Amino acid sequence: MKLDNPLTGTMVSLDDWWMPFTANRQFKAAPRLLAKAEGMYYWTPDGRQILDGTAGLWCVNAGHNRKPIVEAIQKQAATMDYAPPFQLGHPVAYEAATAVANLAPAGMRHVFFVNSGSEAADTAIKMALAYHRAKGEPSRRIIIGRERGYHGVNIGGTMAGGIPGNRKVWPAMMAGVDHIRSTHDLARNAFSQGMPAHGAEFADELDRLVAFHDPSNIAALIVEPMAGSAGVLIPPQGYLEKLAATCRKHGILLIFDEVISGFGRLGTPFAAHYFNITPDILTCAKAINNAAVPLGAVLASDAVHDAIVNSAPEGAIEFLHGYTYSGHPLACAAVVATQKLYAEEKTFDRAREVAPYWQQALHSLKGARHVIDIRNLGLVGGIELEARAGSPGKRGLEAHIKCFEAGALVRCTADILALSPPLVIEHAQIDRIVDTIRGALQSID
Ligand X SMILES: Cc1ncc(COP(=O)(O)O)c(C=O)c1O
Q: Does 259 bind ligand X (CB under 6 A)?
A: yes
CB of 334 to ligand X, least distance (A): 15
Determine the Cα angle at 335 with ends 334 and 338, to 5°.
80
Smaller CB separation from ligand X, 105 or 161: 161
Q: Does 117 bind ligand X (CB under 6 A)?
A: yes
- DSSP per residue, 276-328: T---SEEEE-GGGGTTSS--EEEEE-HHHHHHHHHHSPTTS-SS----TTTT-
Binds ligand X by CB under 6 A, chosen from 229, 289, 301, 338: 229
Q: Does 113 bind ligand X (CB under 6 A)?
A: no
Q: Does 257 bind ligand X (CB under 6 A)?
A: yes
The DSSP bridge pattern shows strands 10-13 and 2-5 to be: antiparallel
CB of 208 to ligand X, least distance (A): 24
Interface region with ligand X, contact rule CB under 6 A, candidates 61-69, 130-138, 256-264, 355-363: 256-264
CB of 75 to ligand X, least distance (A): 25
Smaller CB separation from ligand X, 58 or 342: 58
Residues 15-52, buried b or exposed e (16+ Cβ, 10 A)?
eeeeeeeeeeeeeeeeeeeebebeebbbebeeeeebbb
Q: Does 189 bind ligand X (CB under 6 A)?
A: no
Q: Does 290 bind ligand X (CB under 6 A)?
A: no
Smaller CB separation from ligand X, 218 or 284: 284
Instruction: From residue 208, give the alpha-carbon distance in Å to each of 178, 218, 354, 404.
Output: 11, 13, 40, 44
Binds ligand X by CB under 6 A, chosen from 118, 182, 290, 301: 118
The DSSP bridge pattern shows strands 142-146 and 177-180 to be: parallel
Residue 178 CA to residue 208 CA, distance in Å, equals: 11
Smaller CB separation from ligand X, 117 or 396: 117
Smaller CB separation from ligand X, 20 or 315: 20
CB of 322 to ligand X, least distance (A): 17
Q: Does 150 bind ligand X (CB under 6 A)?
A: yes
Interface region with ligand X, contact rule CB under 6 A, candidates 2-10, 144-152, 213-221, 353-361: 144-152
Beta bridge partners, 4, equal: 11
Residue 304 CA to residue 385 CA, distance in Å, equals: 42
Q: Does 326 bind ligand X (CB under 6 A)?
A: no
Contacts of 256 (CB under 8 A, 6+ apart): 223, 224, 225, 270, 271, 272, 277, 279, 281, 282, 283
Smaller CB separation from ligand X, 414 or 444: 414
Identify whether the C-beta of residue 67 lies closer than 8 Å to the C-beta of residue 297: no
Smaller CB separation from ligand X, 41 or 150: 150
Q: Does 228 bind ligand X (CB under 6 A)?
A: yes
Identify whether the C-beta of residue 62 lies closer than 8 Å to the C-beta of residue 345: yes
Q: Does 378 bind ligand X (CB under 6 A)?
A: no
Q: Does 92 bind ligand X (CB under 6 A)?
A: no
CB of 58 to ligand X, least distance (A): 6
Region 270-289 residues binding ligand X, contact defined as CB under 6 A: 285
Measured from each CB, the residue nearest to ligand X is: 117
Of 234, 241, 232, 228, residue with least CA distance to 275: 241
Question: Which residues in this chain contact ligand X in the complex, by CB under 6 A?
Answer: 116-118, 121, 150-152, 224, 228-229, 257, 259-260, 285
